[in-house]
A and B are shown apart, each in its own frame.
Chain A
């Protein structure tokens, strides 16, 4: 079955440093989504990528979808304490509505 892996599992950064999480799929994806879960909260949708090589930005967040549509990344520039949380990617295959979540990357910020 489809597997989606995320690395790293944990990341501790000083406030102001950059942060990147990577998502890798065992199969080609039709699209990938990213979610953020604040501590004690529920996952909240951030963005969806559907095109090969697509890059989207949301303020300090940059999302990329690989050329082969098997990997993706989320990069945060100059982290702030509000960025704390766990970031999940989720992807699905063509013709399959099942969305498979990655294992998540938990980001903590050292003030």
Chain B
């Protein structure tokens, strides 16, 4: 089954404790991206990757890191989480074979709470 898998689904942590949210897709998609969703703000892009070893900042990259060593994986790293990073996070992927943006396939989300 074609899917984007995020782990964990829920995570409660304390300020300053490094964490990683994993994201993996089995559709051989070139493009992957991380979003955070907050009430009233919609989906805001954190980082995205056009292909292996190519990553770029989105709209809200501060406090986050990503890597794209393999095509299928795109982990999100919070080196020193803070309470303002409490949010619902989504990983998404898509093809890059047309002039227009291909539809995004989203993971099930990770609800992160930083105390």
Residues of chain A whose beta carbon lies under 8 Å from any beta carbon of chain B: 1, 6, 9, 30-31, 33, 35, 41-45, 48, 50, 88, 90, 92, 97-104
B67 at the interface (CB under 8 A from A): no
Q: How many A-B residue pairs have CB under 8 A?
A: 60
Whether A97 touches B42, Cβ cut-off 8 Å, given contacts A30-B100, A33-B103, A45-B103, is no
B90 at the interface (CB under 8 A from A): yes
Task: Tell me the minimal C-beta distance from B107 to chain A in angstroms.
Answer: 6
Partner of B101, one of A31, A35, A42, A103: A31
B61 at the interface (CB under 8 A from A): no
- Give the distance in Å from the alpha carbon of A99 to the alpha carbon of B59 in the complex: 11
Whether A101 touches B103, Cβ cut-off 8 Å, given contacts A42-B109, A43-B90, is no
Task: Tell me the minimal C-beta distance from B10 to chain A in angstroms.
Answer: 12
B34 at the interface (CB under 8 A from A): no
B74 at the interface (CB under 8 A from A): no
- Give the distance in Å from the alpha carbon of A104 to the alpha carbon of B37 in the complex: 10
Number of chain B interface residues as a range: 20 to 34
- Give the distance in Å from the alpha carbon of A99 to the alpha carbon of B106 in the complex: 14
Residues of chain B whose beta carbon lies under 8 Å from any beta carbon of chain A: 31, 35, 40-45, 48, 50, 58-59, 90, 92, 96, 99-101, 103-109
- Give the distance in Å from the alpha carbon of A31 to the alpha carbon of B35 in the complex: 20
